[in-house]
Amino acid sequence: MIVESPVERLAKTNPDMEIWWDSSPLVYEKWIDQMLAKAPRDGKDLLEAQLRRLYDKANPAESVFRGCTTNPKLSLAAVESDPAFWDRWLGDLRRSHPQLGLKELTWHTYKEVVRRGAEMYLPIFQASERRYGWISGQLDPRLFTEKETMLQQAEELRSLQDNVMIKVPASKEGIEVLKTLTSKGISTNVTVCFTVAQILAAAKAVKEGTLIAEQSGVDLSGWRSVITMMMARLTERKALVEQASRRGIELSSQDKTWLGIAVFKRAYRMLAEGGYPSKMLACSVRPGPLVAGRQRYWDLEKLAGGEIVFTLPAVALEPLFAIGDRLQFGPEIEEEIPEAVAERFSRIPYCIQAYNPDGLDVDQFNSHPAVLYTIDDFSGATNGLEAYVARRMPPA
């Protein structure tokens, strides 16, 4: 008898829910080994069977995972997890392309990480007739205001494999890039996205792009769009606590968790009501809060039942497997947040900006605290990959 994992039970709350792996596919097997090494002896066989169903290496099309997201931080981790291979690969690249400088070598390395990961998910893509099996390749976060460069990089990434979708930042310039890519039938995943205003701007840009594509005769039959809401990256910022404190409001861990859930729920409803072609994707989920002495996982529980995507990295899956047997997933996505919590949020500018459809103007997207934090974090990882490559270049 098959004992379903909590991931499988979560996915069953809606036939159109998708669970994606949030990391490079290249590191999945090593993560399984790490999980099994920590597991109690009497539970290893069950855990291994559950983990191998998530991504079935022998038969990828039968995997529970329906897609994959990556970012610069996760791609750097993939390279650092196998330095012997990547050192050889870089050496071969330098010998065959001696004219390439540091930035070009780094970009080629990043693209190779994406390409190899996309190959692993290609059987899912082909078996589902281009519906599932997508892997996201992110544009250089350091260039999130450079429209033309982002468009050029997007074309390079999409050429790697048919199942590569482009991860576009929800910056002012990124929204314009999103429309252009959609008009060409290029699948996209909006990232660095935290507010209802950003999500709606992205959804409108995608919808406008599809209209242009249809007028131009572009085939959209195998095209997809997802819009990522980075939940904890919104709720963990200092600005939230500082603004609440100045107004005499003390936010509990439950309140902070509710904020990410509230923003996601409102955007989800508005996209459905507006008939937008994009699908909402939840990332940056966190276990918690503690309720009556019991560990919960509200970021998953309160969005269960939605026609959405969850993308889950190892750090989100590990606590889920630890407490998953005690969680019951039901159709909760349509339920409202508590009135008392909503009232507290209505007095905090940070929450108003995140929750209200007109809480931010597009000109304010690039300066939102969560945007600045995340761009800095992702840029640091890109710099880290560049430093990795530099250490393996011969001295001038």
> In this predicted model, what pLDDT tens digit does every residue of 145-187 receive, in sequence order?
999 999 999 999 999 999 999 999 999 999 999 999 999 999 9
Count CB neighbours of 186 within 10 A: 23
69-81 confidence digits (pLDDT tens) = 999 999 999 999 9
- The three-class DSSP label of residue 382 is helix
User: Are the C-beta atoms of residues 261 and 337 closer than 8 Å to each other?
Assistant: yes
Helix, coil or strand: residue 318: helix
Amino acid identity of 298? W
Report, in this order, helix, strand and coil percent for the chain, each rounded to 5. Answer: 60, 10, 30
pLDDT tens, position by position, 60-112: 999 999 999 999 999 999 999 999 999 999 999 999 999 999 999 999 999 99
62 vs 54: CA distance, rounded Å: 9
Percentage of residues in the chain having pLDDT higher than 90: 97
Per-residue CA distances from 168 to 154, 212, 256 (Å): 9, 19, 26
62 located within any domain: yes
CB-CB neighbours of 310 under 10 Å:
22
Instruction: Write down the pTM of the prediction.
Output: 0.96
The CA distance from 251 to 272, in Å, is 30
In this predicted structure, the answer to whether residue 393 has a pLDDT above a threshold of 90 is no
Determine, yes or no, domain membership for 85.
yes
CB-count burial class (<10 Å; 0-12, 13-18, 19+) for 147: middle
Whether 257 has a pLDDT exceeding 60, the answer reads yes
Please indicate, yes or no, if residue 394 is contained in any of the structural domains: no
Q: Is residue 1 part of a domain?
A: no
For residue 343, the surrounding DSSP H or E stretch is: helix 339-345
Q: Indicate if the pLDDT at residue 395 is higher than 80.
A: no
In a domain, 291, yes or no: yes
**Residue 208: domain span:** 6-389
* Residue closest to 138 by CA, chosen among 215, 76, 180, 63: 76
Residue 65 phi, psi (nearest 5): -60, 135
Nearest-CA neighbor of 258 among 355, 331, 325, 353?
355
What is the number of domains present in the chain?
Answer: 1
Q: Give the pLDDT band (50/70/90) at residue 239.
A: very high
Whose structure tokens read 């010998």?
95
Asked whether residue 395 is assigned to any structural domain, the reply reads: no
Q: How confident is the model at residue 369 (pLDDT cuts 50, 70, 90)?
A: very high
CA 96 – CA 92 distance, rounded (Å): 6
Q: Please give the average per-residue pLDDT across 322-329, as a whole number.
A: 94
Helix, coil or strand: residue 13 = coil
Distance CA 263, CA 352 (A): 10
Q: What is the DSSP letter of 62?
A: G
pLDDT by residue (tens digit) across 24-46? 999 999 999 999 999 999 999 99
The pLDDT confidence band at residue 394, using thresholds 50, 70 and 90, is confident
CATH number, domain of 102, equals 3.20.20.70
Q: Are 355 and 263 in contact (CB under 8 A)?
A: yes
Per the domain annotation, does 171 fall within a domain?
A: yes
Flag whether 290 is in a domain.
yes
